Amino acid sequence: MVKVGILGAAGYTGGELIRLLLNHPQAEIIFANSESNAGNRVSDVHEGLIGETELKFTDEMPFDKVDVIFLCFGHGKSEAFLKEHTVPADVKIIDLAQDFRISGGHDFVYGLPEIHREDIKHCQHLANPGCFATCIQLALLPALKHNLIDGDIHVNGITGSTGAGQKLGATTHFSWRNDNISVYKTFTHQHLYEINQTIGELRPEYNGRVLFVPQRGCFARGIFVTAYAHCDSPIEKVQEYYAAFYKDAAFTFVSAKSPDMKQVVNTNKAVVYVEKYEDQLLMISCIDNLLKGAVGQAVQNMNIMFGLPETSGLLLKASAF
Q: Which of 312, 150, 119 minimizes the C-alpha distance to 229?
A: 150
Residues 6+ apart with CB under 8 A from 321: 262
- Strand order of the β-sheet with 210-216 is 182-183, 210-216, 150-159, 223-230, 280-287, 270-277, 252-254
Query: What does the alpha-carbon distance between residue 12 and residue 29 come to, in Å, rounded to a whole number?
Result: 17
Rg of the chain over all Cα atoms, to the nearest angstrom: 19
Q: Which residues of 188-223 are buried (b: 16+ CB within 10 A; e: fewer)?
A: ebebbebbebbbeebbeebebebebebebbebebbb
Q: Which residues of 137-168 are buried (b: 16+ CB within 10 A; e: fewer)?
A: bbbbbbbbebebbeeebbbebbbbbbbbeeee
- The contacts found for 247-256 with CB under 8 angstroms, 24 or more apart, are 249/113, 249/114, 250/113, 250/300, 250/310, 250/311, 251/292, 251/296, 251/300, 251/311, 251/314, 252/114, 252/138
Q: Which of 72, 123, 131, 231 is catalytic?
A: 131
Q: Is 231 a catalytic residue?
A: no
Active site residues: 131
